[in-house]
Amino acid sequence: MSSAISMASMSTYAILGCGSVGHAVAEELVQGGKDVLILDKDEGRVEALRDQDLDARTADIRDEATVEAVADRDVILMLSADAEANETALENIRGRSGDQFIIVRASDPVTADNLDEKGADVVINPSAVIADSALRALEQGELEYKAAQLADVIDDGETMAILAHRSPGPDSIASAVALQAIADSRGVEADILYEGEIGHQENRAFVNLLGIELRPLEKADLEAYDLLALVDCAKATDPVVDHDVDVFLDHFEPEVDYNARFTDIRSNVSSTSTILTKYVQEFDLGLSEEVATALLYGIRAETLDFKRDTTPADLTAAAYLYPFANHDTLEQVESPSMSPETLDVLAEAIRNREVKGSHLVSNAGFIRDRDALSQAAQHLLNLEGITTSAVFAIANDTIYLAARSKDIRLNIGNVLEDAFGDMGDAVGHSTDASAEIPLGIFTGLETDGDNRETLLELTEQAVRTKLFAAMGVEGGSGSEGGNGG
């Protein structure tokens, strides 16, 4: 039986049963320079086809003679509305030759299974095709409607503040960049604002290499802007601003109701960058290399390079962006150099690791660069036998923690929420998460002078105990490493 790959070299076709579907297919093939033979038992239809200079003959496709009539054809399309006739023709042809590429029309899922079992290379169920086409048309119609709504809101002002989530990552930054480009295309000046820090080395490289301008929220006056947009802010458990919101875009349901004038929340995709890519397409922007590169990186980072919760929409968006993106820049962003402090933090985390089962927890001591924790957690996840890693440290009277997991049974975001959600902020996904815990929760001491080592000792056991308990391994099954207990 031939494969679909060989279709490119095929030039002779037979259509068995030529209703409206077969007629449309025949016309397309003939216009493409293909040699098409049509067999149909309706003499009137055959005469009409001949009047259009099509090669049509009268025949009942269930007859054995049909096998000989199409013996020299590369591809056979059985498109009769009579499913039984198609099945009989398929059996006859497969019984006599069997090496032609055969496409058969089914009437329902049951007949589709039968046709597949009897040797059809491709089975087409018209009802499924129509339903799929209707859903695509509906999706496109909804996008057009939403884009018109978004345009109406943007056109209401001359300036817009676009607020990314706290200490924004690639998806949030890229989404803000895309919305800024959309606003600019409509004559609205937009600034991207953020709280916290651009911490991770990859994120800093991302911002610097693409020349993305970000302004700290604390240095901006929201009252000076006509419009406010929140992108990728749904995970915040408290309102990110005490201000009216005009636009809210995210791929998660928000924890807070912002009552925005325009909202687009799509939990059926895995990144906000995917949503913004759809709008970029709908607004027919002249897509710049910077915006395309940012959005592609946003999608790749949020889906862990398409390994986490990736949907067809994410892949379609990435495929659209791929030709426009600068891949040399992406390679630089994804392979930043490791700073000396990051190397020190990694070394400390390796020394202090404690392993129970396949779960690793480590203390990196006192740090200045909080970003180094996430890199240390990622490196430790690569150790043999480790499926979950968590690294914590103290900085500025706060315990910071970064965790990574490749255990499909464990949602590390939920683990940190269970362990520390009632005493600090925990955010993340099933595979990566972070937490910030005020130091006073554990000790009531300050990080000055002689208290440093005491602080480290007092917090270490508490954090390790709560983490392992939340992971469900408080009993342990063996450990290694230095200072952890």
Structure tokens at 174: 């890229």
C-alpha–C-alpha distance, residues 108 and 233, integer Å: 44
Domain ranges of the chain: 9-124, 139-334, 340-471
**Count of C-beta atoms within a 10 Å radius of residue 92:** 17
Query: What pLDDT, on a 0 to 100 scale, did the predictor assign at position 413?
Result: 85
Backbone Cα Rg of the chain: 30
Which of these ranges, 64-68, 146-150, 173-177, 306-310, has the smallest mean pLDDT? 306-310
pLDDT at 450 over 60: no
pLDDT at 13 over 60: yes
Structure tokens at 366: 């006192």
CB 162 within 8 A of CB 191: yes
Query: What pLDDT, on a 0 to 100 scale, did the predictor assign at position 251?
Result: 93
Which of these ranges, 164-168, 263-267, 367-371, 394-398, has the smallest mean pLDDT? 367-371
For the chain, give the percent of residues with pLDDT over 70: 91
CB 250 within 8 A of CB 163: no
pLDDT tens figures, 232-253: 988 777 788 888 999 999 998 8
- Same fold flag, 9-124 and 139-334: no
Which of these ranges, 63-67, 223-227, 407-411, has the smallest mean pLDDT? 407-411
Which of these ranges, 321-325, 363-367, 451-455, has the smallest mean pLDDT? 451-455
440-461 average pLDDT score: 63
pLDDT at 337 over 80: no
Q: Model pTM greater than 0.85? A: no
More confident residue, 156 or 449: 156
C-alpha–C-alpha distance, residues 149 and 143, integer Å: 10
375-388 average pLDDT score: 87
Strand 214-216 relative to strand 122-124, pairing: unpaired
Structure tokens at 453: 């080592």
C-alpha–C-alpha distance, residues 350 and 328, integer Å: 32
Query: What pLDDT, on a 0 to 100 scale, did the predictor assign at position 10?
Result: 54
Class of domain 139-334: alpha beta
CB 349 within 8 A of CB 306: no
Q: To the nearest 5 percent, what fractions of the chain are helix, strand and coil?
A: 45, 20, 35
C-alpha–C-alpha distance, residues 451 and 443, integer Å: 10
CATH entry, 340-471, from 2.40.110.20, 2.30.29.30, 1.10.3720.10, 3.10.310.30: 3.10.310.30
Q: For residue 14, with 0-12 CB atoms within 10 Å meaning exposed, 13-18 middle and 19 or more buried, which class applies?
A: buried
Using 50, 70 and 90 to split pLDDT, how confident is the model at 6? very low
What's the N-to-C CA distance of the chain in angstroms?
Answer: 64
Say yes or no: domain 9-124 is CATH 3.40.140.10.
Answer: no
Tell me which H or E stretch contains 453.
helix 451-471
Query: What pLDDT, on a 0 to 100 scale, did the predictor assign at position 5?
Result: 36
